Amino acid sequence: MRLFIYLRDFAADGQSPHLGICKAVHGLAQGFADNGNPVVVLCEGPDDSVCDVAPGYQVRSLSGVAPGRLYGSISPSLRNFVLENSKDALYVLNGIFHPGACALAGLLRKLDVPYIVAPHDPYHPTIFSKNSLLKWPYWILRERPMLNGALAIQVLDARHGQWLARLGVRSAVIETTNGYAPSDVLPAEQLRWNQDGRPSAIFMGRIDSHNKGLDILIDAVCGVSRESRPKLTIQGPDWGDRAALKAQARRLGATDFVSFPEADFNVTSASLIARHDIFCLVSRFEGFGLAALEAMLAGRVVIVSEIAGISPHVRASGCGIVVTPEVRAVRAGIEELLRLRPHWKEMGLAGREYALEHLRWQKIAENTWREYNRLMSTAAHVRAPARELVAL
């Protein structure tokens, strides 16, 4: 089996993957390579290029990103690559409501080349509530046909399969969680826990209010009594909502408690998170929550939304609180964590130990490769009779 992972906006040099989806693709690809299973990550850019990131891990950038090209079309360079690399191949297409992935899936179906779709976010009802007039037609005409033509849908939490079934997706569902890179692990001697003074909380990630529930988080923090209210930092690249969230904090008279520093890509996420006491991820919909995993590795206590794929691991390790993405529930979760302050070190270390043992990319990649081989073997048996009939 030859494995090709497609993510249109992956870095051509394989370096500095800041976005969660890029971190996830990089981590899984590195895990495959570390296990001796070669992988090629495909992306698109202005020029063709090849980068050997590590032994067995290559990034191929295919030209096609140019003015005038339709976002949902396939570049000649990508088309030629697929035509030349279709035998014994499996393609993994990353992204949700991604025209490029849909277009590539259409070509693979025509060529009878198997593919897996890794959306990274769940098809939870709330994902359709924003821009619904665009999303529902796209879902019916393009997204669902792509998913139903896939060998499998790769989800970050097996529970997310229920939303696919409710929407009429019949393809198999496999679970591949996210993991950590060695650079995400802070040395134990650097970890500290604050037992005195006003605590601090942080959200780290893209500033997308609807997806990440940041409006909910600000309302919830401001609902905590002023005496015990933690200071909240919201840090990350602005996806268009920072100004509205700042205005929300002003209306609530909470500018002393809520700050919005610029994203800092010169320091690891784990190091930034370790400067705070509580990590918050109260998304309306969330595939996994890599930043929450980085918080666990930093020994922080966390409050996470129940929809996030990280939430079963938070429950299993006892390192935090799982809530529904509603103001009242989030406020209650924060207040519960504040009551547990004497146990933050114990909880944080439990979360760190759990993550180190269960969420290594190399182990995740080993299980995923085994699942890919099983799917390919099953698909070969199903397609073989059809090919024999055509030959007759």
Question: Residue 23 maps to which CATH number?
Answer: 3.40.50.2000
**Domain shared by 367 and 311, yes or no:** no
| pLDDT attached to residue 65 | 59
| pLDDT attached to residue 71 | 56
pLDDT digits (tens, 9 = 90+) for 10-34: 999 887 667 789 999 999 999 999 9
**Domain shared by 342 and 251, yes or no:** yes
**Domain shared by 164 and 216, yes or no:** no
Spans in the chain with pLDDT lower than 50: 68, 384-392
Query: Domain count of the chain?
Result: 2
Closest C-alpha among 329, 303, 335, 336 to residue 224: 335
**Domain shared by 140 and 100, yes or no:** yes
**Domain shared by 223 and 274, yes or no:** yes
Q: Which domain holds residue 149?
A: 2-179+361-391
**Domain shared by 346 and 382, yes or no:** no
Query: Is 59 in contact with 53 (CB distance < 8 Å)?
Result: yes
| pLDDT attached to residue 64 | 75
**Domain shared by 243 and 165, yes or no:** no
* Token pair listed for 13: 């040099």
| pLDDT attached to residue 230 | 97
* DSSP letter for each residue of 81-101: HHHHS-TTEEEEEE-SS-HHH
Looking at beta carbons, which pairs linking 10-17 to residues 24 or more positions away fall under 8 Å? 10/41, 10/42, 10/43, 10/59, 11/43, 11/59, 12/43, 12/45, 12/49, 12/51, 12/59, 12/61, 13/51, 13/59, 14/41, 14/51, 14/53, 14/57, 14/59, 16/265
**Domain shared by 14 and 81, yes or no:** yes
**Domain shared by 336 and 222, yes or no:** yes
pLDDT digits (tens, 9 = 90+) for 298-341: 999 999 999 999 999 999 999 999 999 999 999 999 999 999 99
**Domain shared by 266 and 365, yes or no:** no
Exposure string of 271-305, with b = 16+ CB inside 10 Å and e = fewer, is ebbbebbbbbbbbbbbbbbbbbbbbbbbbbbbbbb
CA distance 14 to 58: 8
**Domain shared by 74 and 198, yes or no:** no
Q: Which residues make Cβ contacts (< 8 Å) with residue 114, sequence separation at least 6?
A: 89, 90, 91, 108, 151, 375, 376, 379
CA distance 26 to 370: 19
**Domain shared by 70 and 114, yes or no:** yes
214-223 vs 242-251: helix axis angle to the nearest 10? 20
| pLDDT attached to residue 382 | 57
